[in-house]
Amino acid sequence: MAPPRPALSQQVSIVATDRLQRGRQAAPQVFERLREMIISLSLAPGTVLNRLTLQQEFGLSSTPIRDALLRLQEDGLVDIFPQHATVVSPIDLTLAHQAHFLRRSLELEIVRSLALTPDPRLIARLQGFLAQQQALMEAKDFEAFAAADQAFHQHLYEAARMNDLWVLVRSRSGHIDRLRRLHLPTPGKAQDIVQHHRLVVQAIADGNPEEAQEHLRHHLSGTLSHVDEIRAKYPGYVRD
């Protein structure tokens, strides 16, 4: 059964209380904060985003709020009904599959290239990520664990000097990231993530590109194979 949804003003206040940074445009900051709330499911599918409420919470005029919502629409994270409402979109399985295909294609090549020339400094940094993920898993801090999971993968892109591709992947991953957030609290899921990461790191350290790719392929396929369970547990959150 889906968790109850707090009022929008209560939800937005959580992030709006942190002042926007001076010297940066307001619209991108609002976009980033609302996007994270949508990805983390603090703003669940079906939540109505009232523009006036957002203006009041962020202390902004209508223009940066409108621009932020348009960017969210471009990423498929909100549905805008002109003269009516803006609503957090359901998780779109077609877009989730496309994002999975993109990420898998890129990361298979990334771990292959990293395993062809193992770097002990990279392995040490990745081991640090693993230790952090293990601690967060044991603390059952799923919010921080999800962020650490993203940081682990981002570091792979950075190590391969593919930073811009990480930006591309992130911009396309809103739907599958929400599926992963719904799946993460499932017993054993976090343990599987840590174990898969550990196997990928070990294969890179061993200079075994085929094994690194195999472990990564298995790792990235986990959530999509449980879509029916997720849909049954969170009715109304997912659309084909």
pLDDT single digits (tens) 194-224: 999 999 999 999 999 999 999 999 999 888 8
Burial 1-17 (b: 16+ CB within 10 A, else e): eeeebeebeebbeebbe
Q: Using 50, 70 and 90 to split pLDDT, how confident is the model at 23?
A: low
CATH number for the segment(s) 92-239: 1.20.120.530
Where does the pLDDT of residue 20 fall: very low under 50, low under 70, confident under 90, or very high at 90 and above?
Answer: confident
On average, the pLDDT of the chain sits at 91
Over residues 131-182, the pLDDT tens digits come to 999 999 999 999 999 999 999 999 999 999 999 999 999 999 999 999 999 9
Q: Is the pLDDT of residue 71 over 60?
A: yes
CATH pick for 8-89 out of 3.20.20.70, 3.60.20.10, 1.10.10.10, 1.20.1250.20: 1.10.10.10
Q: What percent of the chain shows pLDDT beyond 70?
A: 91
Answer whether 8-89 and 92-239 agree in fold.
Answer: no
Say what percent of the chain tops pLDDT 90. 83
Q: Characterize 45-79 residue by residue with b for buried, 16 or more Cβ atoms within 10 angstroms of its Cβ, and e for exposed.
A: bebebbeebbbebbebeeebbbbbbebbeebbbbe
Domains in the chain: boundaries:
8-89, 92-239
